Amino acid sequence: MRVVVVEDQALLREGMVALLSENGIEVVAQAEDGPGLLRIVEGHKPDLAICDVRLPPTFTDEGIRAALEARRRHPEVAILVLSAYVEPVYTAELLAAGQGGVGYLLKERVSEVRTFVDSVKRVAAGGTALDREVVSALIADRDRSGERAELGALTPRERETLELIAQGRTNAAIAREMVVTLGAVEKHVSNIFAKLDLPAGDDDHRRVLAVLAYLRATGGR
């Protein structure tokens, strides 16, 4: 797998490159600003670009803008955005940019090495990785309003399962995380789809997209 890393802080960039190489992911190029991201994506055609939100020259949302532009020019390149903060507006923009191959994680998730590497591989393969804080901001907050009655109908375990699905986990990973059997997870999943009135597909990918479409409709604007 070929990856590019865009981060303006040398300390973080070097740490991330070392961490990725240790786990068999090849970092083919690095950059430290928005225009640099577009340049190395153009030049190296990587499988995945990992970038920060705040980048020079503006130090605002340069990274998101550059990532969206890169996605527009090269839809085949997956985008994983790392940020110091959760921002639903940005998540929604990334999700709107295309079906799959996008991720938005808090920077400190990198330190959970195995989970992070899984996320990197999943996004590069066209899957999705959303930070659990993003997902819980979109799901947990919504259902208390009473507006989304169908989410209120979920049991706490089902909601937990939905959050993990929306993060892009497989049933096996969810079973490990929740310390239950695979069969129990499959039961939760089919209940969720029944309660949310979502068409359940056979494969994980379609399932994630269905949940993301739902999140986009309710939370992201």
Among 90, 104, 193, 214, binds another protein (CB under 8 A): 90
**Using CB under 8 A, which residues numbered 13 to 72 contact another protein?**
15-16, 18-19, 22, 53-54, 59-61
Shorter beta-carbon distance to another protein: residue 42 or 108: 108
One-character DSSP codes across 90-158: HHHHHHHT-SSSEEEEEGGGGGSHHHHHHHHHHHHTT-EEE-HHHHHHHHHHHHTTSSSHHHHTS-HHH
Nearest to 54 by CA among 8, 106, 103: 8
Nearest to 6 by CA among 58, 41, 47: 41
Does residue number 11 form part of the binding site for another protein (CB under 8 A)? yes
Amino acid (one-letter) located at 80: L
Site string (131-150) toward another protein, x via CB under 8 A? ------xx--xx-xxxx---
Question: In this chain, which stretch among 26-34, 43-51, 89-97, 189-197 interacts with another protein, using CB under 8 A?
Answer: 89-97
How far apart are alpha carbons 37 and 117 in whole angstroms? 21
Burial of residue 111 (number of CB atoms within 10 Å: 0-12, 13-18, 19+) = exposed
Q: In angstroms, what is the minimal distance from the CB of 177 to another protein?
A: 16
**Using CB under 8 A, which residues numbered 95 to 124 contact another protein?**
107-108, 110-114, 116
Among 1, 12, 125, 210, binds another protein (CB under 8 A): 12
3-state secondary structure of 131: coil
Shorter beta-carbon distance to another protein: residue 31 or 110: 110
Q: In angstroms, what is the minimal distance from the CB of 75 to another protein?
A: 24
Among 89, 172, 182, 194, binds another protein (CB under 8 A): 89
**At 221, which helix (H) or strand (E)?**
none
**At 51, which helix (H) or strand (E)?**
strand 48-52
How far apart are alpha carbons 10 and 201 in whole angstroms? 43
Q: What number of chain residues touch another protein (CB under 8 A)?
A: 39
How far apart are alpha carbons 152 and 204 in whole angstroms? 24
Q: In angstroms, what is the minimal distance from the CB of 128 to another protein?
A: 19
Q: In angstroms, what is the minimal distance from the CB of 11 to another protein?
A: 5
Task: List residues binding another protein (CB under 8 A).
Answer: 9, 11-12, 15-16, 18-19, 22, 53-54, 59-61, 84-85, 87-90, 92, 107-108, 110-114, 116, 137-138, 141-142, 144-147, 219-221
